[in-house]
Chains A and B, each alone.
Chain A
Amino acid sequence: MKKYVGLLLILTLVFIAGCSSESSGSEADFPEGDIEFVAPATPGGGWDATARAMQKILGDAGIIEENINVSNKPGGGGEVGWQYLLGQDAHTISINSSLLVANNLLGQSELTYEDFTPLGILSTEWVSVAVPPDSPYETGAEVMEALKEDPTSLTIGVGPSLGNSDHLSFVQAAQEFGVDVSQVEFLVYESGGDVLTALLGGHVDVATMSVSESKEQHLAGEINMIAVSSEERIEGLEEVSTWQEQGVDMVFPHWRGVMGPPDMSEEEIAYWDEAIGEMVETEAWQEVMNNNEWEPFYHNSQESQEFLAEQTERFDELMTEAGLIE
């Protein structure tokens, strides 16, 4: 008995020592030194805009007193930036999006959200479906009906790659309608801008793109937005009905979030939760949302973790044929 007590004591001591050596670091005074935001894309896109907005607001409002730098690390649909993040400490965080989930499922990346520390989901855009003004189709449902009839009858423009939110939301809607998606012709363009050009030029019959990309042309009457993936009709686009209104039980956010490197401590996570939580409450953040056609979609670190798990499951189901069989 005595022997075991001794052993337990030793183990406990070792354990305590282990714990204290972990927590006896300098986390009490985190952060110490410059903060780095990674935008895994070239300047000018949504990821870059999000990173720079955060840099400005967190700095201006004095939420973070340290120096904040934004570094652009484009390539591989986020892969380059996220690989870089793996080797950093809690002073570096990166912007992410649904691509983090999709890339892995499509065999384009080994990384999953589990390799990182989700710190929050910040905002979302909604995905729109648009046709030329002279198109015979007035609603998304009509497009789907036609595709159900003959999947090859229409070409759909998507960019910059298959498997992004624009593409996935269209596929999900089509599947809900019972379209044989494997026969549908998606034409891939290099960017959202190119998709718009192709639609305007009559190269594709239908285009799927984010609302921010299509809103201006729709309002100008150049194209006709016929469905959005949001829960409710979008402010300023009240004439466009949601997929839900058209009989498809689907809400598809094109979300953006932030994550840190793996193995962050409780204290570090708490620090970022507090900072980001404070940031999304500011006037300035609301302004950024409005200017970019984004919507607030805040989840804290714990909620992000759950949201990402649920997204992964949903995408996986969507991408396998099993998703068809209802």
Chain B
Amino acid sequence: MINRLFNVSLQTKITGLLLGVIISVIFILSIFFAYSTVEQILSNKYRLSMQTARTVSLLPSVSESLQEGDGRASLQFLTDQFSMENDADFIIIQDKEGRVLTHPNEEYLGRVQAFGDGFKARVFGGYYNMESDEFLAPSIVGIAPILSETGSVLGVTTVGYLKKDIASLIYERIRFILYLSVAVIIIGIVLGYLLARHIRKETFGYEPREIAALYSRQDTLLSSLNEGVVAADEHDKITLINTSAKDLLEVNDSYIHRPIYELLPPLEYSWVYETKDEKLNQEIYLNNKSLFVNLVPMFTQGEFTGLVATIKDRTEITEMINTLSEVKKYSDDLRAQNHEHSNKMHLISGMLQLGNYNQVLELIDREMNHIQKNNRSIFNQIEDTNVQAILIGKMGRASEKKVDFMIDEGSYLSPLPPHIEVAELITIIGNLVDNALEAVISVPHPLVSFSTIDIGNDIIIEVSDNGIGMKEEEQETIFQPGYSTKGDRSKKRGFGLYNVKAAVNKLNGIIEIDSSRQGATITVYIPK
């Protein structure tokens, strides 16, 4: 029920609230004013009637003419004068028998009016106010005794104000307050309407709950995005950073309300701010990540209100490409193995046709030995199937390249812990072996040996070659993206060792390079 009551438009809410407040305030104030006005008018009349009655009763000429029993005309003249001066509706003087001596209405003169409301004055000489309807009409009266010098009562004066006149006077005053109140209420309605309209305009006519829904939807949307989103207002202050952006840029919410160029390195913001045009695919390199940034201006109802930067992590794309190329290499490696195998089968079939059975047996023995030697260490000592697969692939590749690929007989590897993913493993082992194969391509008796061991807290992977080694400065640069010993950089190569470094970093491992003229050894330590 209450919910239903609040489930109205913003317009209604604001107008209702404003009106509620204004009307209550006005109501309270009006009641207060009306009350004090009435109070004031009444007490004024009370005071005035009493004062006039007292004054008239104390006039020496009044008590004299009562004692003498004459001079009515002069009394009437006197009271008329006092009525005029004090706006009193009537001043009535009665003698002690109750005979009316002065009266605004002539026909009442001389009539005897019993003392009802005048009783206290006539008998006890009391001075008092009361509401009376003894004379003319209901009125507020002040009553005073007319006393002799000794204090005996000679008569009674009654001074009155008619209630209907007082009521109309009160009504007059209150009507003014009412008009004022109505005016203020109308102003309140207009203001409420304008305010509500203004707010609606600012919110595209959405109701607050719709805005809330929109906002939460946007929030969910933004945080579910893989792309980083940073929004800035027209004064280049950041207003929003989504979760992905926080991860990519490695910041938290403290950057909100700070200038956008503090968060992102110099891009052409000012250009966007000036031309109100978008700037797409700017590449920046930050925190060991290569990022693509799009700057798009934001318009609200045709007004430029800021810009949105979307940030794509290029590293991911690169990694995807790398993984893809690794997989390609495998199929190549397998093709190579297949080729080797069919070559050998041709050789055997040739020998058999020639009848060289001994040579056939020799060849098969040699092959068997080689395979057994390698396979023993691969299948008996290296228990992780992924590593097995990688190594078998690499063996095929090595034999195609006529490189001797040795797996160290002391290698031992239990199945790897789950936090080390296949992709990372492929990246590390694959790239290291490929690099070694590349390094020995031009030396006599090329040899690449691989060993791994997981005794202790670390998994240790070591790849050695008998190439020409690396220079000092080379060692420092080989892990940078785009480094390659092979030709120019434009061909998007040279990410191999950079990727190894990234994968090892991710696993909190370390890389060591040991290089001499007789070749290089790269060792990777990965904590379990």
Residues in A lying within 8 Å of B, measured CB to CB = 102, 105-108, 160-163, 167-168, 171, 181-190, 319-321, 324
Contacts and interface: CB of A to CB of B under 8 A. Distances in A.
B124 A321 contact: no
Given A187-B152, A188-B151, A319 B124 contact: yes
Contact of B123 (A161, A182, A188): A182
Interface in B82-116: 96-98, 114-116
A143 B120 CA distance: 22
Nearest to B118: A182
Interface in B124-151: 124-128, 148, 150-151
B125 A182 contact: no
B37 to A, nearest CB: 25
Contact of B127 (A108, A182, A188): A108
Contacts of B126: 105-108, 163, 319
Given A108-B127, A161-B125, A320 B120 contact: yes
Contacts of B299: none
Contacts of B50: 107
A107 B125 CA distance: 9
B117 interface: yes
Contacts of A190: 150
B260 interface: no
Nearest to B151: A188
Given A106-B127, A162-B124, A321-B115, A186 B153 contact: yes
Contacts, number: 69
Nearest to A163: B124
Main secondary structure of the interface of B (DSSP, over half): loop
B119 interface: yes
Contact of A189 (B98, B124, B150, B153): B150
Interface of B: 50, 96-98, 114-120, 122-128, 148, 150-153
A-B residue pairs, 5 tightest by C-beta: A107-B127, A106-B126, A188-B151, A182-B115, A162-B125
Nearest to A184: B123
A161 B152 CA distance: 8
B124 A167 contact: yes
A126 to B, nearest CB: 21
Contacts of A160: 151
A107 B150 CA distance: 18
A106 B150 contact: no
A319 B123 contact: yes
Among A102, A108, A321, chain B packs the most CB atoms within 10 A around the CB of A321
A182 B114 contact: yes
Nearest to A171: B123
Nearest to B119: A321
Contacts of B118: 182
12 contacts: A106-B125, A106-B127, A107-B50, A108-B127, A181-B123, A182-B123, A188-B151, A319-B119, A319-B123, A320-B119, A321-B117, A321-B119
A102 to B, nearest CB: 8
Given A163-B126, A319-B120, 5 more contacts: A107-B127, A162-B123, A183-B97, A185-B96, A319-B119
A190 B151 CA distance: 8
A257 B78 CA distance: 45
A163 B98 contact: no
A107 B118 CA distance: 13
Nearest to B126: A106
Contacts of A319: 119-120, 123-124, 126
Nearest to A175: B123
A182 B119 contact: yes
A186 B98 CA distance: 15
Given A106-B127, A163-B126, A186 B152 contact: yes
Contacts of A162: 123-125, 151, 153
A31 B426 CA distance: 107
B93 to A, nearest CB: 16
Contacts of A320: 119-120
B120 A106 contact: yes
Nearest to A180: B114
B115 A161 contact: no
Given A162-B153, A188-B152, A106 B114 contact: no
A187 B150 contact: yes
Among A107, A163, A185, chain B packs the most CB atoms within 10 A around the CB of A107
A313 to B, nearest CB: 15
A187 B152 CA distance: 5
